[in-house]
Homo-oligomer: A and B are copies of this chain.
Amino acid sequence: MAGTDSTKSFTPAPGPAVILVEPQLGENIGMAARAMLNCGLTELRLVSPRDGWPNEDAVSASAGADGVINNAAVFETTSGAVADLHRVFAATARPRDMTTLVITPTQAAAEIHAFMAEPENRTGILFGREAKGLKNDDIALSDAIIMAPVNPAFSSLNLAQAVFAVGHEWFKAGLADAEKTGGDLAIPKETRPADKAELQGLFEHLEDELKISGFFHVPEKRTVMSRNLRNLLQRAGLTEQEVRTLRGVISSLVTHRKK
């Protein structure tokens, strides 16, 4: 497969192709493949990998994303790697001497999803060689530059990180509805949220025992103290099982006092 344009030998995924231009270390290619698969991207293209291809370091660094590695297509030139694509993005810093559209990964994700709604539309994202990034000739093959907003004082992302920064936005944009839902209290299957009657039972149990123990020795404060306790227990979002546990705690704490 090395050194030939083998794009026709595998089935394209519905996401954009990730195109690594002249990557150097196999380890970085592998970590990029892992980041791709984390984001549901499977189509990897390599332009003239420095250490040849296949590369064992890439397989081991992929941490199980070897399907992505094994299906990687290798090209001699960037123009060969993008020849069958309809829209190409370049993930890189902005070149000083070119007028280019610069968008964020979030904007690119929305654009790619919209564009690929037509099944025959194919897209790809170019990533440059480690440290040096893309050459202007590569960028000139692109429709827009993708720049992730990062700390301007320390903006150099490692290759896999750059792939993830873009790929993750693409993945999340496909999930949009789930992302919009609020925080989710994961409750183990065996239990369910307590209902208000169960909570009321807990509050009364606690307050009765506190009364007996003399906790409400300043009568005027009883209402506000009870309210504060109810409020903080309420906030915990207790399950039915937890209400029973807390009632057990109260009973246990006072047990010996009754003996």
Residues of A within 8 A of B (CB): 31, 34-35, 37-40, 63-65, 94, 96-104, 106-107, 144-145, 148-151, 154-158, 160-161, 164-165, 168, 171-172, 175, 178-179, 181-188, 191, 206, 209-210, 212-215, 225, 228-229, 232-233, 235-239, 242, 245-246, 248-250, 252-259
Contacts and interface: CB of A to CB of B under 8 A. Distances in A.
Given A98-B188, A185-B100, A242-B99, A256 B253 contact: no
25 contacts: A34-B161, A38-B150, A38-B151, A63-B156, A64-B154, A64-B156, A99-B187, A99-B237, A102-B183, A102-B184, A103-B184, A148-B168, A149-B172, A149-B178, A158-B160, A182-B183, A206-B249, A210-B249, A210-B252, A213-B253, A215-B248, A228-B242, A232-B238, A257-B257, A257-B258
Contacts of A168: 148, 150, 165
A245 B257 contact: no
Copies of this protein in the complex? 2
Closest 5 pairs between A and B when the two form their complex, measured CB to CB: A257-B257, A256-B257, A215-B252, A236-B236, A253-B253
Given A149-B178, A256-B257, 19 more contacts: A38-B151, A94-B186, A99-B188, A99-B239, A99-B242, A100-B186, A101-B186, A103-B183, A161-B164, A182-B183, A212-B256, A213-B252, A213-B253, A214-B256, A229-B245, A232-B236, A233-B236, A254-B254, A255-B257
A65 B145 CA distance: 26
A97 B154 contact: no
Contacts of A206: 249
Contact of A37 (B63, B98, B151, B249): B151
Contact of A183 (B144, B179, B187, B246): B144
